[in-house]
Chains A and B, each alone.
Chain A
Amino acid sequence: MQSLWTWLNQLGSPPNFWQWSLPWQRACLIISLLLTAVGLYGGLVLAPADYLQGESFRIIYIHVPCAWMSMFVFVFMAVQGAIALIWRIKLCEIFVVAAAPSGAIFTAITLVTGMLWGKPTWGTYWTWDARLTSELVLLFLYLGVIALYQAYSDHRAGARAASILSIIGVINIPIIHYSVVWWNTLHQGDTVGLSGSKMHISMLWPLLVMALALKLYWVAVLLLKSRVMVLRLERSKAWAQKALLGQAL
């Protein structure tokens, strides 16, 4: 246990992070691009049109993975925030702040694509449905985390405040997830869950591929954003200067 803790601490130290993150960032991005190409081909070309929704159902191949990511990223931020507050690990503070913009982007895509799907399906772009409203609240929470961090001139104080807001805000995640169960909503219930899927396999596999592609993209962009923050915070340190000058100019 002690050796695992030591290993995690070493992995999280900024110089080590700087070294190991670049190959992972590149690998995740390349695999993500390949999977996106496969997923889009499957979703837009191979999957048959829905018997009721027609072609507009193809929006789910971006809407659903983005919705999953919007919730996953916030849970990730809350977990990292808790670790940052308890053990004061610098990298976890950076992860909280670096994850927020991409989480906000995923949430915005979820809302906009949901609206574009809602118009032909429900006949309206927006309704104050529990699922839609709680997802909108999630977007405000992301923007709140970003704004709160920016409001501080000191990085660590800002990151701590952002961590606290992430931990408080994570209460919204079960509300989003169970909103279709707890309330009588216009939004349909879960089509894909841990217990199985109501979709035919020909429509399901591109969705799962796109979900994996988006997750890997997020890992890549998180590592990229974290590297920028690490460099900004550690620029006066000898290792950062050495790393900068060691790279191709």
Chain B
Amino acid sequence: MSSNHWYFVAASYAVFFVLIIIDWASSALSKRHLERELRARLRRESALKEQHAQNEPL
């Protein structure tokens, strides 16, 4: 058997790293996206509350 099978080794490691990076990156990105969305919503809500408080008659 030929010992020169580095291309199979290289392909295996490429598949490994690509899938692991996809696994991690997809989770990290979805966390970042969710946090941004929730923070923006919280800021909007607090701005609305402030506006209501200012508009209330004394």
Do A58 and B31 touch across chains, with their CB atoms under 8 A apart? Answer: no
Contact B15 A113 (CB under 8 A): yes
Task: Please tell me if the beta carbons of B34 and A232 are within 8 angstroms of each other in the complex.
Answer: yes
CA distance A49 to B2 in the complex (A): 12
Q: Which residues of A contact B16 (CB under 8 A)?
A: 62, 66, 109, 113
What residues of A have a CB within 8 angstroms of the CB of B11 in the complex?
116
Q: What total of A-B pairs shows CB separation below 8 Å?
A: 86
Tell me whether B55 is interfacial, beta carbon within 8 Å: no
CA distance A240 to B34 in the complex (A): 12
Residue of A nearest to B41 (CB): A235
Contact B12 A113 (CB under 8 A): yes
Provided the pairs A245-B42, A249-B39 are in contact, do residues A228 and B30 lie with their beta carbons within 8 angstroms?
A: yes
Interface of A is mostly: helix
Please encode chain B, from 25 to 45, with 1 for each CB lying within 8 Å of some chain A CB and 0 for all others.
Answer: 001101100110011001000
Nearest B-chain residue to A63, judged by Cβ: B12
- Please count how many residues in chain B sit with their CB below 8 Å of the partner chain's CB atoms: 27
Question: Do the beta carbons of A62 and B42 come within 8 Å of each other?
Answer: no
Q: Is the Cβ of A54 less than 8 Å from the Cβ of B42? A: no
Which of the four size classes fits the interface of chain A? Answer: 35 or more
- Cα A248 to Cα B13 in complex, Å, equals 36
State how many angstroms separate the Cβ of B11 from the closest Cβ of chain A.
5
Alpha-carbon distance between A231 and B12 when the two chains are bound, in angstroms: 35
A249-B12 Cα distance, complex, nearest whole Å: 39
As a 0/1 sequence over residues 74 to 100 of chain A, the CB contacts with chain B under 8 angstroms (1 = contact) are 000000000000000000000000000
Q: Are A59 and B8 in contact (CB under 8 A)?
A: yes
The complex places the Cα of A52 from the Cα of B42 at a distance, in Å, of: 63
**Cβ of B46 to closest chain A Cβ, rounded Å:** 9
B23 to A112, Cβ gap below 8 A? no
Binary A-proximity of B1-31 (CB < 8 A = 1, otherwise 0): 1111110110111011001101110011011
A224/B28 in contact, CB under 8 A:
yes
Q: Known: A66-B16, A228-B30. Contact between A221 and B23, CB under 8 A? A: yes
Q: Which residues of A contact B (CB under 8 A)?
A: 44, 49, 52-56, 58-59, 62-63, 66, 101-102, 105, 108-109, 112-113, 116-117, 119-121, 217, 221, 224-225, 227-228, 231-232, 235, 240-241, 244-245, 247, 249
